[in-house]
Structure 1
């Protein structure tokens, strides 16, 4: 691993508005396939798990950090920047969210955790220039955060696809519990749907909630327990004695 000084992520490159320069900050499928990106053992499970936690809509980006057993240790979702596709801007956005949900591993001799990116978009599953910019941004963000660059996955209306590998499958659908809940709400219940980004998460998940000094972004997956409610209204023993009389 080489070390050097990188400009602050909020700074834009001098040629950020040059279309030719932006084209240089993207990766073609052949470049991505030859970069030694580690293959996911079970991409279907990774896609289904991230979909269940974040419920991505159009133009949603999910960046997740996996341990050696492909368990999600941290993840965050956010909306794609509205500017023209630029790997530099995408790298900065990924770094911002990674730094909020998990500490860097730059002190390690070699990366032990892997970052993957799931991009929900319209259109066909085939590679686009926007995908190339996200690939460039993911690779650079991983280098600056001490992570191994992992799979880049697109989620289109019909299917998911691991670009550069040729593996894909049907788009994840709502779970049985979701469908039952929708049926109950349709039967006349006015209660809103519960947020599921914090439900049924694995024990080793590391999140921004574990670091009280860091802000918790809206799209970050967090865990926590409900705060016990106070008994307010007097001691229960007194009420029981009154009722006995």
Structure 2
């Protein structure tokens, strides 16, 4: 491994610091008030959604928050496909940013942060065992921050088409739930996210566990031989 921090690693660290600062300084409720005012105009509302999905990684908001907005403006029938497309679109910047920082090899800072190094090795082993599509799908189903899944898949070498397929399948139940919540809301607030609660999270964890049961069994069987 390389001993010194590369310019790309430094840029990545600066980007992470920017995301943390932006998430602390930005109020979702304040933004949603302005977006709600555009709901009567489908074109302006659609443009606002594009902006929201574009800046969402920068402010580290959950994808379900924007999916609630989609449901509020477009209802369930249009909202679900738009929300799924938005989930893929908003994951592209962190996916390619992580791959650019990674530069096709170990991130230099891992030389000094052994815990992060062990996590990187475990993540690569996870995707090698589960496969790209299955691994991303299971990670999306679990209540894990979307950008953490995206960046981990990116630096673990998951192919883009496998990442997109896994994102579409794994985000489907979360998107449907968020869109339904938004379509039934009288006003746009972050409090609506509370309706996407513990029962759904538990169901998604169980689904992810079932999805990974086959690869886990095969790995255990091979290690026991």
In our comparison, the structure showing a higher alpha carbon Rg is 1
The TM-score normalised by the length of structure 2 is: 0.25
The TM-score normalised by the length of structure 1 is: 0.24
Bigger RCO of structures 1 and 2 (CA < 8 A, at least 6 apart): 2
More strand by share: 1
